[in-house]
Amino acid sequence: MNRIAVANELVRLAKELVAFGGKHVAVRSLPVSIQNALRQLRYGRSDIEVVTANSYSVAPAFEGSRAVSVTVDIWSGKTTDSQRGSWGGSNPFESRPIDKAESTPIPADSVVIAGESGGRGIFLRIYGKPEEISIIMPADDKKVDVSDSEKKALNIIGGIKSGYRADRFRYDGLGEYNESNPLIQSLAAKGLIKVSRIGIQITTLGRNYR
């Protein structure tokens, strides 16, 4: 990896740390206009992180990807200021505003969907001022209490690839990593994880409790 790529990745990580603390919400619970905008950007995940902020910026695109953003008016549902960056980010041959990674104010009555799209996948967040975020966020009155052991198990399921979870469960004294484990059964009953034929997955509610 060359110096420019390393610098871009460090900027990306720094911006992710700044944005850390957003809340994950199910895409289907968002207004239809925002769902449509996400569909146009080919975002296919079941949930997305929503970040409260007065401005936003897009980290420089990694090799094989490009920065993307679109502004959505939360009242009319119209999309404006749709931007696409250059593949791989800024380069000597063309200059696009979104590739400058500058902080941009979020318009009133709007939210901005921004991130990157490309070979590594599609990674997006929704940014908005507190008043707009409070409008689009679904009501969530569900309160869940988790024990220290459940929280540790949830962090493993949400933060470690499935192939390594069994060893971590045993290392942390949480028992066997399977659907018969009382911790996994309890987390599933509370809606924090989902157990299915394809394995054990963290839910949107579970991501917010991590």
| Residue-range domain boundaries for the chain | 3-136, 148-209
State the chain's mean pLDDT as an integer.
Answer: 83
Residue 127 has a pLDDT of 95
Residue 94 has a pLDDT of 79
Residue 142 has a pLDDT of 55
**Phi, psi values for residue 107, rounded to 5°:** -60, 155
Confidence tier at 141 by pLDDT (50, 70, 90):
very low
User: Dihedral angle at the C-alpha atoms of 95, 98, 104, 108, nearest 10 degrees?
Assistant: 120
Residue 197 has a pLDDT of 82
Spell out where the chain has E strands.
23-26, 47-52, 55-56, 65-73, 79-84, 104-105, 110-118, 121-128, 193-196, 199-202
10 pLDDT exceeds 90? no
Q: Are 150 and 183 in contact (CB under 8 A)?
A: yes
Residue 102 has a pLDDT of 79
Mean pLDDT check: name the lowest of 3-17, 59-73, 151-165.
3-17
Confidence tier at 103 by pLDDT (50, 70, 90):
confident
* 63 class by beta-carbon count within 10 Å (0-12 exposed, 13-18 middle, 19+ buried): middle
124 pLDDT exceeds 80? yes
Residue 170 has a pLDDT of 94
Q: Side chain identity at 31, as an amino acid letter?
A: P
User: Dihedral angle at the C-alpha atoms of 130, 105, 47, 180, nearest 10 degrees?
Assistant: -70
| Tokens 């996948």 -> residue | 121
146 pLDDT exceeds 50? yes
Phi-psi sector, 53: left (phi>0), alpha (psi -120 to 50), beta: beta
